[in-house]
């Protein structure tokens, strides 16, 4: 399955999210082989899911995180059960901002992975190396450590996101991404393997041609519906720079 995922992070209020979806729908993106997911803030889930249903917009919602615990005294957290109840099927886990700004450990990400599977959510597990790791060419051992913690029965969707590439405008060389794609195929099978980090209408062209890559997780360039649709168009028709 091919995916294009808009990770809105902590952007877009409910009103802005509704505007975005209306604009997205009015631009009539042509989608034949890509599953489009939008990951808004929790507060937007209910109103956006209503618009998606009412207007039959071909996108699915994705949570940006869930709690590693089932329920109880965990102030400020949102459970897998709550996400499932509102009809959301996907969840991002282990995004680098969760790992680095909110100190999520590999153990905690594995617990979230189990929790997602218990509630039939499809986990999209993010991993990737920091800049010093990249510079010292230790990417493979670093990501192996991140991924060895994961003990799920079903292969998740994985998203390779080099930390130094997120929001920086920098991307790895194509052959470096290819090396990670090959490494993943041989060692950590995924239901789909995505790339994320400074994907925009220019950078997507070359990365989309990498064999074995099934899509993209996009932050900054997903915040405007018109730009996100450009990405979708490039992904569906590589070589077409609309």
Segment interacting with ligand PGA, rule: CB under 6 A, options 25-33, 82-90, 161-169, 224-232: 161-169
Kindly state the smallest distance separating residue 28's Cβ from ligand PGA, in Å. Answer: 24
Distance CA 136, CA 5 (A): 30
Of these residues, 68, 97, 129, 161, which one is catalytic? 161
Q: Under a CB-based contact definition with an 8 Å cutoff, are residues 171 and 128 in contact?
A: no
3-state secondary structure of 147: helix
Task: Choose which of 166, 190, 213, 229 interacts with ligand PGA (CB under 6 A).
Answer: 166
CA distance 173 to 157: 22
Minimum distance of ligand PGA from residue 196's CB (angstroms) = 4
8 Å CB contact between 184 and 160:
yes
H or E segment at 9? none
Does the annotation count 95 as an active-site position?
yes
d(Cα 130, Cα 35) in Å, to the nearest integer? 29
- DSSP 3-state of 162: coil
Min separation Cβ 96 and ligand PGA, Å: 7
Active site residue 145: no
Tell me: does residue 167 bind ligand PGA (CB under 6 A): yes
Output the smallest distance, CB 97 to ligand PGA, in A.
Answer: 7
Q: Which of residues 180-239 bind ligand PGA (CB under 6 A)?
A: 196-199, 217-221
Tokens of 55: 């207007």
- How many residues bind ligand PGA (CB under 6 A)? The answer is 13
State the distance between the two ends of the chain, measured CA to CA, in whole angstroms: 23
Catalytic residue from among 95, 97, 104, 129: 95
Q: List interacting residues with ligand PGA (CB under 6 A).
A: 7, 161, 166-167, 196-199, 217-221
Give the catalytic positions in this structure.
95, 161
């Amino acid at each position: 399955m091919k995916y294009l995922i808009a990770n809105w992070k902590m952007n877009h209020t409910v009103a802005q999210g509704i505007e975005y979806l209306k604009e997205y729908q009015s631009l009539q993106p042509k989608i034949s082989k890509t599953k489009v997911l939008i990951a808004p803030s929790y507060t937007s889930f209910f109103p956006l899911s209503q618009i998606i249903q009412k207007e039959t917009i071909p996108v699915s919602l994705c949570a940006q995180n869930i709690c590693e615990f089932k329920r109880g005294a965990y102030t400020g957290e949102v459970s897998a059960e709550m996400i499932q109840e509102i009809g959301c099927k996907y969840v991002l886990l282990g995004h680098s901002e969760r790992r680095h700004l909110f100190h999520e450990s590999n153990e905690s990400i594995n617990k979230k992975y189990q929790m997602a599977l218990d509630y039939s959510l499809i986990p999209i597990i993010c991993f990737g190396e920091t800049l010093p790791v990249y510079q010292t060419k230790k990417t493979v051992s670093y990501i192996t450590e991140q991924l060895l913690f994961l003990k799920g029965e079903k292969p998740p969707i994985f998203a390779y996101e080099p930390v130094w590439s997120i929001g920086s405008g920098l991307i790895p060389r194509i052959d470096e991404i290819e090396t990670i794609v090959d490494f993943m195929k041989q060692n950590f099978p995924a239901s789909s393997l995505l790339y994320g980090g400074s994907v925009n209408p220019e950078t997507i062209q070359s990365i989309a041609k990498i064999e074995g890559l099934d899509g993209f997780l996009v932050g900054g360039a997903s915040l405007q519906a018109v730009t996100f649709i450009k990405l979708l168009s490039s992904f569906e028709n590589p070589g077409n720079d609309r």
